Structure 1
Amino acid sequence: MKTVLHKADTRGTAFFGWLHSRHTFSFGRYYDPDRIHFGALRVLNDDIVEPGMGFGTHPHDNMEIVSIPLQGDLEHKDSTGNTEVIRTGDVQIMSAGSGLTHSEYNHSKDDKVNFLQLWVFPKEENITPRYDQKTFKSEDRNNQVQTVVAPDNEQALWINQDAWFSLADINKGLTLDYTLHSAENGVYIFVIDGLVDVNGLSISRRDGLGVYETEKLEIKAGSDSKLLLVEVPMQ
């Protein structure tokens, strides 16, 4: 088993008044040659946007982009005609494919929005851009893994990559096992909240741990914890 640990306080920071962002991997003005990606996972941003503010229209291509609101609601518009509000409990995926433009704004005029945005390199390039989102029940991840993005699961959002995104809420003292889909993959565990032990390694709130060259993870909660697990090809 091999691991790479990214403690929460080592992440890159961007602060523009209306935006406070923490970057697990190199992004924008933050650059660390040792933190470019974890396998096919290229970006993991933890963004807080002030009320009524947001990201103006900007382009993307050939990237799978997943957004997960943790608190508040996010308003999305794109050049393919989608205008949506992504609420806490929802997961959104956008295949930028051959190219599109989009904007993201805090839907509220009163409250901040905090969301995770992750970018994954695609399996096939230049596909027709696509958009999807879905609401997932929180009770379906109580002390179990809830798959929210996958290439092979009709209950999840489809992704143009052999990648699986899962959420799990684990009560203190309980243990979950996660079996990888392929020996060629790795799993990046991001602690949304709490404290967990993964195969003997302890990580806490907003820490990230990449694990690869292993078949299974054993995750034990040291406190009530909320996790995001992202399994991706390492090559």
Structure 2
Amino acid sequence: MSTGTGIYHSEYNASKTEDLKFLQIWVIPNVEETKPEYHNYNIRPLLKRNELATFISPSGNTPAHLLQDTWFSIGTFDAGHSVIYRMHKPRTGVYIFVIEGEINVAGENLSRRDGIGIWDIESVTIEATSETQILAIEVAM
């Protein structure tokens, strides 16, 4: 979704029996006064177990793009598996959010719904200490 010059928007849970859990993440674009847009993307074909899949980027090589130096990556990992997250650009930082499970990153143990921001690095190793799903958001600093 791009709010561009402004929009009205709301989210709701259509189920009367199941809880709804989602993340609402706002990114300030580097271009103003754009046309509001809303799209749905199927990222399932990108997903591979024990790999991070980048599904949003500033370029056109991912299902969705942003008008900002921002990359969104997601992955599901087996316990004991490690992955190296490499920054896409200098002077960016990455926020790693644990959707489910537990990880160790930069010497910190994180659990479900924990997050950590890391910057001034070129890469960081993320180790799954249980079956885990994470979201990594790299942004300009």
Same fold (TM over 0.5): yes
- Is the 8 Å Cα contact of residues 90 and 122 (structure 2) preserved in structure 1? yes
> Are residue 230 (structure 1) and residue 137 (structure 2) matched?
yes
Measured after TM superposition, the shift of residue 204 of structure 1 is 1.3
> Are residue 108 (structure 1) and residue 10 (structure 2) matched?
no
> Are residue 151 (structure 1) and residue 63 (structure 2) matched?
no
| Match for residue 172 of structure 1 among 79, 82, 92 | 79
Percent identical residues? 39
- Is the 8 Å Cα contact of residues 46 and 53 (structure 2) preserved in structure 1? no
Gaps of at least 5 residues in structure 1 are: 1-93
Q: TM-score, normalised by structure 1?
A: 0.57
Higher RCO (Cα < 8 Å, 6 or more apart):
2
Measured after TM superposition, the shift of residue 125 of structure 1 is 1.4
In the other structure, the counterpart of 1:190 is 97
Matches of 2:45 and 2:82, distance apart in 1: 18
Higher strand share: 1
Greater Cα radius of gyration, structure 1 or 2? 1
- Is the 8 Å Cα contact of residues 123 and 161 (structure 1) preserved in structure 2? yes
Q: Which amino acid aligns with 2:131?
A: D
Matched positions, count = 141
- Is the 8 Å Cα contact of residues 191 and 227 (structure 1) preserved in structure 2? yes
- Is the 8 Å Cα contact of residues 79 and 128 (structure 2) preserved in structure 1? yes
Greater shift after overlay, 133-142 or 190-199?
133-142
Tell me the secondary structure at the aligned position of residue 10 of structure 2: strand
In the other structure, the counterpart of 1:120 is 27
Q: Which amino acid aligns with 1:107?
A: A
> Are residue 216 (structure 1) and residue 123 (structure 2) matched?
yes
- Is the 8 Å Cα contact of residues 53 and 75 (structure 2) preserved in structure 1? yes
Tell me the secondary structure at the aligned position of residue 47 of structure 2: helix
Give matches, 1:1-235, under 5 Å: 94-137=1-44, 140-234=47-141
Matches of 2:93 and 2:16, distance apart in 1: 40
Measured after TM superposition, the shift of residue 110 of structure 1 is 3.0
Matches of 1:139 and 1:165, distance apart in 2: 13
Matches of 1:182 and 1:137, distance apart in 2: 26
Matches of 1:179 and 1:153, distance apart in 2: 19
Gaps of at least 5 residues in structure 2 are: none
Task: Indicate the RMSD between aligned Cα atoms, in angstroms.
Answer: 1.5
Measured after TM superposition, the shift of residue 217 of structure 1 is 1.1
